[in-house]
Amino acid sequence: MKILLLPLLLGLSAVGSFASVADARPNILWIIVDDMSANLSSYGETLIRTPNLDRLAAEGTRFTRAFTTAPVCSPCRSAFINGMYATSIGVHHHRSGRGDLKIRLPEGVVPAPARLKAAGYYTCIGSGLPDADRRGQGKARKARGDALGKTDYNFEWDPAMYDSSDWGGRLPGQPFFMQVQLAGGKLRGGDDAAARRLSERAAVELGGATDPAKVVLPPYYPRDPVMLRDWAAYLDAVRFTDRHVGEVIARLEREGVLDRTLVIFTTDHGISHARGKQFLYDEGTHVPFIVRGPGVSRGVVRDDLIELIDITAVSLAAAGLPLPSGMQARDVLASSYRPREFVFAARDRCDETVERIRSVRSDHFLYVRNFLPRRPHLQPNAYKDGKSIVQTLRALHAAGSLDPLAENLLFRPERPAEELYEWRNDRWQVRDLAADPAFRTELEAMRARLGRWMVETGDRGPEPEAMYDSDMAVYLGGRPGKERDEGAGASVTARNIAQMKRWAAEGK
């Protein structure tokens, strides 16, 4: 854990004394899931059922067009915990600030848990079930420090902003802020053997496993057995997530606090796949977003564009706290809320792989800007190249067995500098309109809007070489799962770092 003294908290005044306001304020419970798209039955998924999440949607408000602002864990989490774009506060490179060089938040930016704790909330982060971990499996109750849920922040922070891993330790009547952190899509693991094991577990614990033969893949993925088994296991991971959510809701009911609790369900980004996680198409950025609780309209479906960082503004407002000046998140439940015309996203370095992509989305178009177009879509990356699905895709590519769509989208040696899609009519973003003269006006308008956003929000841009080297020293020191030896002792990660530096020297 990283430590940061938060002197700004001294300037945060609690909303009156705890005793006078505790009963009037709702509990706030976030359910944040890893690596999972909106594959819920309430969002149109037909191969599986998600009854507990469907219940949340029926008893609350479901947002159909919610998008993460960063499609990989640490930038996304560093963003929504502060209600700020990762690019604005310098936390946009995945797992950055982990070496000798550290990242500190700009003046006035304080994480939501610290603000809520200063206002009298009992703050906690864990699985939501004292006797189960984030994977939904049993564990002994641990000491406070060992049991905290996933944080993965790229900035220096004070662990004291969390009181515990669970709300059970709060004072009588004290409102709590709880983050339930779940493994989600990570349950299926990274290789074919792990996917098979999860399917076997689903057959035992859920009364049956998803049939790979019935899986419907995005059109650019081949119907290879490895790919189908992986997606089937992913859908079973969604079912396990739904069961865990149901158990958390049942606990709130048993304790008599469900109707006094604002529950928000979402995911950090989409499914981990070749065009999902880490990329700015719908597969990587579209997330479920469901809100249930006091004052929230029941059975409502909203189609306006929202950003995942809005979770922080909604929560602070529910606690009766003013939104900080400069916060980019918006309270989408406020009576004065005006829907966004555009939402934005950014992808930068992921592990050792250097990248820079930005996007802007309107109600109709998705514009993507590739700042490093001379690099391939599937750049070398130890994390992704260790997955059976990516290994399968690379093998099929090498054998010339992929169809033209997959070859074009996944394996062309270079990419266009700009992409434009009618995303509402092109679910998987396979028809790039950027070079079509008929859409020149739309292309120029979206290009300009993205440019203004980058200036207005102070996009921090590329990572300094010194920071990259500082973080890569950590990776080369043996981050679990990040170093795979090959040949004469050279690791995949080290080889990829050398490739990144060569490409940079070549102007790629």
146: CATH: 3.40.720.10
Do 60 and 120 reside in the same domain of the chain?
yes
Residues 362 and 248 in one domain: no
CA distance 207 to 214: 17
Instruction: Please provide residue 407's backbone torsions phi and psi, each rounded to the nearest 5 degrees.
Output: -60, -45
Residue 455: helix, strand or coil by DSSP?
helix
What's the domain count of the chain? Answer: 2
Q: Which residues contact 480 (CB under 8 A, 6 or more apart)?
A: none
Token pair recorded at residue 71? 């499609």
226 in any annotated domain: no
Task: Tell me, yes or no, whether 364 and 315 share the same domain.
Answer: no
C-beta of residue 472 within 8 angstroms of C-beta of residue 497? yes
CB 32 within 8 A of CB 267: yes
- Cβ-based burial of 5 (10 A; exposed 0-12, middle 13-18, buried ≥19): exposed
How many beta carbons lie within 10 A of that of residue 67, not counting itself? 25
Q: How far apart are CA 135 and CA 179, in angstroms?
A: 15
Residue among 52, 82, 86, 55 nearest 69 (CA):
86
Q: Which residues of 26-42 are buried (b: 16+ CB within 10 A; e: fewer)?
A: bbbbbbbbbbbbbbbbb
H helices of 288-376, in order, are 310-318
Domain membership flag for residue 409? yes
Task: Provide the pLDDT for residue 377.
Answer: 97
Q: What's the rounded Cα separation, in Å, for the pair 34 and 72?
A: 9
Same domain, 441 and 356: yes
Instruction: Look at residues 336, 361, 390 and tell me which one is the last residue of a structural domain.
Output: 336
Q: Same structural domain for residues 368 and 457?
A: yes
Check whether residue 128 and residue 44 sit in a common domain: yes
Give the 3-state secondary structure of residue 62: strand
Check residue 479 and give its pLDDT: 60
Among 292, 308, 336, residue at a domain's last position = 336
- Asked whether residue 224 is domain-assigned, the answer is no
Q: Specify if 214 maps to a domain.
A: no
Last residue in a domain, options 302, 336, 370: 336
Beta strands of 312-465 (E only): which ranges?
343-347, 357-361, 366-370, 418-421
Please indicate, yes or no, if residue 115 is contained in any of the structural domains: yes
Evaluate whether residue 199 is within a structural domain: no
And the tokens for 223? 């119907």
194 belongs to a structural domain: no
Same domain for 439 and 311: no
SS3 content of the chain, % helix, strand, coil (to 5): 35, 15, 50
Q: How many CA atoms lie within 13 A of 142 on its CB side?
A: 15
Q: Which of these, 94, 91, 80, 107, lies nearest to 328 by C-alpha position?
A: 80
**Domain extent for 287:** 7-185+241-336
pLDDT for 132: 84
* Contact (CB, 8 A) for 87 and 96: no
Instruction: Give yes or no for a contact between 396 and 385, defined as CB atoms under 8 angstroms apart.
Output: no
pLDDT of residue 447: 98
d(C-alpha 255, C-alpha 139), whole Å: 22
Mean pLDDT by 10 residues, the chain (508 residues): 39 40 82 98 98 98 98 98 98 97 98 98 96 78 63 97 96 96 97 98 98 98 98 98 98 97 98 98 98 97 98 98 96 96 98 98 98 98 96 98 98 97 97 98 98 98 97 83 45 96 97
Compute the chain's Rg from CA coordinates. Answer: 22
Q: Is there a single domain that holds both residue 309 and residue 389?
A: no
In a domain? residue 13: yes
| Same domain membership, residue 381 and residue 291 | no
Residues 310 and 393 in one domain: no
pTM of the predicted structure, to 2 decimals: 0.93
Half-sphere exposure of 135 (CA within 13 A, CB side): 10
In angstroms, rounded to a whole number, what is the distance separating the alpha carbons of residues 503 and 508? 5
Burial 448-463 (b: 16+ CB within 10 A, else e): ebbeebbeebebbeeb
Residues whose CB is less than 8 angstroms from the CB of residue 231 and which lie 6 or more positions away in sequence, other chains included: 212, 215, 217
Q: Going by DSSP bridges, is the β-strand pair 122-126/485-486 parallel, antiparallel, or unpaired? A: unpaired
User: Two tokens at 6?
Assistant: 């938060």
The Cα diameter of the chain in Å comes to 70
What's the count of helices (H) and strands (E) in the chain, helices before strands? Answer: 16, 14
pLDDT of residue 490: 56
For residues 63 and 95, membership in a common domain is answered with: yes
Query: Do 357 and 300 share a domain, yes or no?
Result: no
